[in-house]
Structure 1
Amino acid sequence: MHHPQTHEDALAGLLVDLARDERLADDVTRAARVGDPEIARLPWEESRRHVDALLRAGFAAFTRDGEPDFAEADRFGAERAALGVPVAALLTGVHAGRSRVLEVAVSRGRAAGIPYDVMLHALLRLDRYGILLERRVVDAYRAAERDLGRDHREARIAVLRSLLLGEGREDTVADPARFGLRPGERYHCVVSDVADPAAARRLEQAFARCGGVLAPVAGRLSGLTPRLPADSPALTVCTPAVPVDQAPAAYALCLTTLRSVRDRGLTGLHSVVDLATETALAAQPLLATFLGEALLGALSPRDDFHRDLVATALAYLDHGQRLDRTADALHLHPNTVRYRLRRLQELTGLPDHPTVPETVRWWWALRSWPAETPEHRQRFMS
């Protein structure tokens, strides 16, 4: 018979493994999204980010004494309120995620040979924490909901879902004219990456002053407006003004553009016209992989010098193929830039004076490098 301390050590090891397992966040996120279509509409990366933070906070609280830390749960609830996620959908997602965590813990506990009574005691503690976490999420949601105010917000959501998603509603709640949106007029379509409730409120008010209608649609603050504000507290993309019947297509384009540039660290208000190249190229990920393999196959993502070469060449193309501007942007001596470009040419065959089509191909390959192929993943995760 094993000493009880051995079982406790095994349980502690199991929790450490669960906390470190990045696949668990993917698994729980999938379970939450399957539980409700409203959750499934939300951007995957946002949902996964919160799930990962909640899991880390949960395991940390479970393995230490004292008051648990619910800061991430509070943030999660407040942001879901700002994005207009119905509380019923929120609870469904939280329940599904909590159940999946318990299922995984039971399965791995059995595989580790942890006795039933030890595992049951741990699971009861874990579930009690899950219940407390759920309450904090809901409380934070309700508080943020009150702070955001309900001044016709539900009606704005109904109107925009009708116009942007094509969800037809024949009632006065979803009447666009109620908010000044008329069939014969043209409006800019906007979609924002904002998640902070206070920033979301400021953005809604800024667009309201411009005569626009902004509200959460499918997890993103979105809307239509006849005029644009001077700026935005978060990354926000917009289209030129379009007729109302083109709003669904304009909305889809805004979403595509936002996804293609959201990792670039941009903030403020940007037109889809200015981001057209990134948006078009992002729509062809397989072609980007082919370009990276064909043009940059001699480079290794594990080699820091190769990474410096790629960053320098990309900055060179971004700054009009000017050595002086590239050097200033990278805080390097022009000779260093020249040397790196020469070494990249020796390794990859980068042309001295690429044509416009060649420039586009090389810029795209450099920007997409390293290519995410199965071979790359297998090689660099081994």
Structure 2
Amino acid sequence: MGSTSNTAPTMEAVLARLNGELAELAELTCTRIYDELESYARIEPQALAAAVGRNLRTALTALRTGHVPEPAMLDGAAQTAQERYESGVPAEEIVRGFRISIALIHEHFLDIAVSEGLPVEETVAGSRIMWGVGDAFTTRIITEYHDLALDAALRDARARAAAVHSLLAGELPHDATQVPIDPHASYAAVHCDVDHPADVERVRAALEASGSTPGAHALVVSDGGTCLGVVATRPADPGVPVGLGPFVRPDELPRSDRIARQALLLAQRLGRSGVQGSADLGWRMAAASRPDVWRLYAEQFLTPLSPEGEFGRELRLAVLAWLRHQQSVNRAAAAINVHANTLRYRLRRFSDITGADLDDLDDIIGVTWALELGHPDNYAL
């Protein structure tokens, strides 16, 4: 069916033949896609045929006009991306499916062009258009798929965040499939602040992974530079201070959340890192909740040291070292790198300035409270 000797071969003649073979070409394309791409087994034949038809018509239009469409103009590609995304077909498989379509129409175009005797320059131009259509389609597919995945991730993140806030308010989420919380299991609230934005997702993922058990999953979300959520077991140290509440039933999580926040604030004040709960902070949690007594001890054992400047700081460090080493002068002196006699002198001067009796249990409790927690001004749990 080549051109007659009286008629010069034209692109229109080639495209007319190609258009007449679209139905057969679409059927062949669908067969090859099903044969080569396992992920397309879930796609209904009618839906695939419609998408292939759009692809072929897009290619034919580009050949007819002589122009490669801009990716943004390929609404058919966007429609295909959305349909395949919703069916769970990976983006690379969608691109492969289109490549099969474009390769077959490309082959048919070249066969017909040769059969019709189309000039070489027009054949080459048509071939370039086919490659351009493939590139434009790939760009639109990847862009659209990325946007769809991003939108889905944002929706999931919002749903997870809403679920966490509901849990910490004592309400079980309505969608148990979205948030698989076992109403009969025990969970603890966690809170932490992350200084560097680049570390937030790492910390969140670490808390969620290490805070899960085979039978109960943790749920931790990020909100700006804060990570918060619930864990089913004590999580591993993520490298930042983490406040951990007690393990309770889901309906008691508001109490766990309150304690987790208190623990985080106290851990930050004490310069502690890692996971910190009531068992780790001990008496300090109770002490920090009584600012009246706290202030009394601070004014008795800290305020008198303020006029002493750097020497006052040295006295505080000496007494703290002595307390933390079971009142052993030698071990405390070694810990802060001073002579034992220097430590004894500083203990004596601390007693002289503050009036503390370091042989009296009540005073030791008050001194420990004040030196460990500092002054309560601008601080409240």
Question: TM-score band, normalised by the shorter chain?
Answer: 0.5 to 0.7
Distance of 1:334 and 1:288 partners within structure 2: 30
The residue that corresponds to 1:208 in the other structure is 208
Distance of 1:196 and 1:369 partners within structure 2: 27
Question: Secondary structure of the equivalent of 2:366?
Answer: helix
Assess, with a 3 A threshold, how the Cα gap between structure 1 residues 332 and 250 changes in structure 2: closer, same or farther. Answer: same
Assess, with a 3 A threshold, how the Cα gap between structure 1 residues 150 and 297 changes in structure 2: closer, same or farther. Answer: closer
Deviation for aligned residue 1:270: 2.3
Deviation for aligned residue 1:359: 2.0
Distance of 1:205 and 1:295 partners within structure 2: 43
Deviation for aligned residue 1:368: 4.8
1:325 is the counterpart of 2:331: yes
- Give per-residue Cα distances to partners, 1:79-121, cap 9 Å, x unaligned: xxxxxxxxxxxxxxxxxxxxxxxxxxxxxxxxxxxxxxxxxxx
Pairs within 5 Å for 1:81-96: none
1:180 is the counterpart of 2:180: yes
1:164 is the counterpart of 2:168: yes
Pairs within 5 Å for 1:302-341: 303-341=309-347
Aligned residues: 223
Question: Secondary structure of the equivalent of 2:178?
Answer: helix
Given the alignment, which residue of 240, 248, 251 partners 1:242?
A: 248
Deviation for aligned residue 1:346: 2.1
- Whether the aligned pair in 1 keeps the contact of 2:220 and 2:227 (CA below 8 Å) is yes
Given the alignment, which residue of 355, 365, 369 partners 2:370?
A: 365
- Whether the aligned pair in 1 keeps the contact of 2:201 and 2:222 (CA below 8 Å) is no
Distance of 2:352 and 2:252 partners within structure 1: 49
Whichever residue aligns with residue 362 of structure 1, its letter is V
The residue that corresponds to 1:155 in the other structure is 159
Distance of 2:375 and 2:323 partners within structure 1: 18
Whichever residue aligns with residue 243 of structure 2, its letter is V
The residue that corresponds to 1:344 in the other structure is 350
- Give per-residue Cα distances to partners, 1:249-282, cap 9 Å, x unaligned: 0000110111122133222222331113222222
TM-score (norm 1): 0.52
Given the alignment, which residue of 225, 228, 232 partners 1:226?
A: 232
Deviates more, 1:300-309 or 1:323-332: 300-309
Assess, with a 3 A threshold, how the Cα gap between structure 1 residues 253 and 301 changes in structure 2: closer, same or farther. Answer: farther
Deviation for aligned residue 1:347: 2.2
Whichever residue aligns with residue 163 of structure 1, its letter is L
Whichever residue aligns with residue 270 of structure 1, its letter is Q
Question: Secondary structure of the equivalent of 1:229?
Answer: coil
**Structural RMSD (CA):** 2.9
Distance of 1:219 and 1:165 partners within structure 2: 21
Percent of aligned positions with the same letter in both sequences? 29
Distance of 1:154 and 1:370 partners within structure 2: 39
Distance of 2:246 and 2:173 partners within structure 1: 28
Assess, with a 3 A threshold, how the Cα gap between structure 1 residues 219 and 278 changes in structure 2: closer, same or farther. Answer: farther
Deviation for aligned residue 1:190: 1.2
- For structure 1, list consecutive stretches of 5 or more residues without a partner in the other structure: 1-145, 374-382
- Whether the aligned pair in 1 keeps the contact of 2:239 and 2:274 (CA below 8 Å) is yes
Assess, with a 3 A threshold, how the Cα gap between structure 1 residues 268 and 351 changes in structure 2: closer, same or farther. Answer: same
The residue that corresponds to 1:68 in the other structure is none
- Whether the aligned pair in 2 keeps the contact of 1:192 and 1:234 (CA below 8 Å) is yes
The residue that corresponds to 2:78 in the other structure is none
TM-score (norm 2): 0.52
Looking at CA atoms only, which structure, 1 or 2, has the larger radius of gyration?
A: 2
Question: Secondary structure of the equivalent of 1:232?
Answer: coil
Distance of 1:157 and 1:151 partners within structure 2: 10
Deviation for aligned residue 1:333: 1.6
- Whether the aligned pair in 2 keeps the contact of 1:301 and 1:307 (CA below 8 Å) is no
Deviation for aligned residue 1:212: 0.9
Assess, with a 3 A threshold, how the Cα gap between structure 1 residues 200 and 322 changes in structure 2: closer, same or farther. Answer: same
Distance of 1:294 and 1:267 partners within structure 2: 29
1:265 is the counterpart of 2:267: no
